[in-house]
Structure 1
């Protein structure tokens, strides 16, 4: 059996012009993950990283912690299949029409204020409401990758990295919350909505572990955060 550690990126830059980069808190979350793994003397045979900057920055912070202790990670292979789903695009493109046709969504959108103390919570509620409609097929966005296509894409990526690893190997992969949930959904045979709901639960810099071999892909842990003992570092977005 081999073991896969699937890591969600550290906190990105919510409410900034460029979301796709780690915040200072996100960098520290990733650094703490690296230090924790170093303490466990955890050596990897293969490392994969998704295509986004936040994925790479999380990997780089973990790698820096390894180098501080005279250790190195294997050279990372970029795996495009580990990219996040198109939920943000779904929200921004469908929101104008939904505000006209859906009173509940209009009310939720009108509550969003950039400087509000509840901005993250209110945004997440709106995001969840709209993406649930998308997953149910109630939004006409045929030019975007559909939810089931996203899940298929992640499964193809998992097949690539597990087949390349062989037996008795340790693999780390750095990605986003959606692919982590998709992997867990695949392992547990969850339906589309349950997998979507699971994606909302994945914390920043948390990891899931999966045992795998030919014909087997089994979950061991989900949303693991033993490296983040400071409550200030526990975040969702």
Structure 2
């Protein structure tokens, strides 16, 4: 049975001029998840990443630690939703100043985004986002040979949408799963005769114990 490992990117630069850049801590997290994947001894036949800088840099750093020479295929369908556009239309353009306050506003904005459906004012609606995430997963699954494993570097909203779809609650999944994803958390799916199944969500043992200082949510 094949498996797909979905990894959330490392910590981005919240509040900075370029949010998409990995923070110094984000690079450390990326190296830590690479070491964890190497420890598991999984051989990956395919590696995918979104096109955002934080996703690509997490992939490059983790793969160096993993010592994998498998080329990364970039696919924009693994990109995160546009939090700036969503907050502009549904939260009055909340500034990125205080992380906790911003998270509360973003949660409310995401709920409104989901509720607005296809009629929403954002450039990408919730149904469109959900469809492209599940399509990216379906295409990856279809490309895997029997028993092959794939690794994907993506974002929390994509993980929430995918996990929600696989558990039959896409809307609630986005809102609940997305909020608790940790930077470089690992979500594992299996693919076989029974379809695609969610085996684990948001694993982050590599960010506990002596590495606890690396644990972040934003």
TM-score by shorter chain over 0.5: yes
Pair 147,138 (structure 1): closer, same or farther in 2 beyond 3 Å: closer
Gaps of 5+ in 1: 99-108
1:124-178 CA distances to partner (integer Å, 9 max, x unpaired)? 0111112211211189643521112111111110011110012101100000001
Which secondary structure does the structure 2 equivalent of 1:132 belong to?
Answer: helix
Gaps of 5+ in 2: none
Pair 73,182 (structure 1): closer, same or farther in 2 beyond 3 Å: farther
Q: Which has the larger radius of gyration?
A: 1
Pair 214,35 (structure 1): closer, same or farther in 2 beyond 3 Å: same
Pair 140,170 (structure 1): closer, same or farther in 2 beyond 3 Å: closer
Superposed CA RMSD: 2.0
- Among 73, 81, 85, the alignment partner of 1:89 is 85
2:200 is aligned with 1:204: no
Structure 1 residue 196, shift from structure 2 partner: 2.1
CA contact (8 A) 1:46 1:172 kept: yes
Q: Which residue of 2 aligns with 1:233?
A: 214
- Correspondence 1:123-134 to 2 at 5 A: 123-134=102-113
What is the number of equivalent residue pairs in this alignment?
Answer: 216
Q: Which residue of 2 aligns with 1:32?
A: 32
- Among 76, 82, 105, the alignment partner of 1:80 is 76
Pair 171,191 (structure 1): closer, same or farther in 2 beyond 3 Å: closer
Relative contact order higher in (CA < 8 Å, ≥ 6 apart)? 1
Structure 1 residue 18, shift from structure 2 partner: 0.2
2:166 is aligned with 1:170: no
Question: TM (normalized to structure 1)?
Answer: 0.84
Q: Which residue of 2 aligns with 1:122?
A: 101
